[in-house]
Amino acid sequence: MLAYIDFPIDDDLSLSFGKIKAKNEEIIAPKMREKKYAGFGDSLPKSSEAELLKQINQGLSTEVWRIYNDFLTKRRMEVLEANEAETLAKISDDIEWINNHRLLLIIELADLQSKDLDEVLHSFSFENKNQFETLLNPETKAFIFENSGGLCEYCRNQAEYSFASYSIETIVPQSKGGKLEARNLALVCQGCSNHKYKKTEGFDAVSNETVEFFNPRTDVWKEHFAWNEDNSLLSGLTPKGRATIKELKMNRPTLIELRAILVRLGKHPFTASLKRNGV
């Protein structure tokens, strides 16, 4: 049974997330463990429609998002210290994990209602979904979103099946001279964004060199990355590809879980042709 959770927004972020973590363990983790992704739904008694709706609508993710967005807003104009960057990355991992759970609940609901997943998915409105930087003009936003095909331009996670807000971000951060112009902007999922943070290069152990990250505007994705046989893992084909995978944690556990869910649904990897990036 899912309890309704009402967290106050604390000034002390770690305190807020400590509480959320505790609730994760208490409420969501057992259900996630039972489902085990690969065989989700097989071992569980069916939830009632009302219970599923309640969990989807009043679930933990709403509160996590409220606190997370508040954190980002507060810190937007500040220079984050190194330990805060780590906190940010950890938070985004937790949010991805919770969002996977939310997707599973919606899959379960679609199954219960004998409806198409996309139909059920689109019947929910998630206020945090796909909010883009307000600093950008509408034409620039449209250009980037169209060119990305609605995918994170690094890990290829699909915005369509994510409840986390994707953002249009600078490839080279403004703090390192990057400009707010289309050729320096890309659509990025929260996880990749937070792991990338202000970094622009990483070390590749194979070639033993430090290289710049893959650039979604000037590099061709498939020349640097490839899926493994079951499409759960990305491998780097070049030093740039490997360094980007490592630093952005493009095979983080939450992404692997999400890919497994979407593979079962025939939604991954994304196969529609894009205008560019060589998919």
Residues near Zn ion (CB under 5 A): 152, 154-155, 157, 189, 192
Shortest separation between residue 191's beta carbon and Zn ion, angstroms: 6
Query: Is the Cβ of residue 144 or residue 152 nearer to Zn ion in the bound state?
Result: 152
Rounded least distance, CB 55 to Zn ion, Å: 26
Is the Cβ of residue 56 or residue 185 nearer to Zn ion in the bound state?
Answer: 185
- Compare residues 7 and 197 and give the one whose CB is closer to Zn ion: 197
Which residue lies nearer to Zn ion by CB, 2 or 241? 241
Query: Whole-number minimum distance, CB 27 to Zn ion, in Å?
Result: 27
CB of 102 to Zn ion, least distance (A): 18
Nearer to Zn ion, 30 or 278 (CB): 278
Q: What is the SS3 string spanning the chain?
A: CCCCCCCCCCCCHHHHHHHHHHHHHHHHHHHHHHHCCCCCCCCCCCCCHHHHHHHHHHCHHHHHHHHHHHHHHHHCCCCCCHHHHHHHHHHHHHHHHHHHHHHHHHHHHHHHCCCCHHHHHHCCCCCCCCCCCCCCCHHHHHHHHHHHCCECCCCCCEHHHCCCCCEEEECCCHHHCCCCCHHHEEEECHHHHHHHCCCCEEEECCCCEEEECCCCCCCCHHHHEEECCCCCCEEECCHHHHHHHHHHCCCCHHHHHHHHHHHHCCCCCCCCCCCCCCC
Task: Give least dist CB 121 to Zn ion, A.
Answer: 19
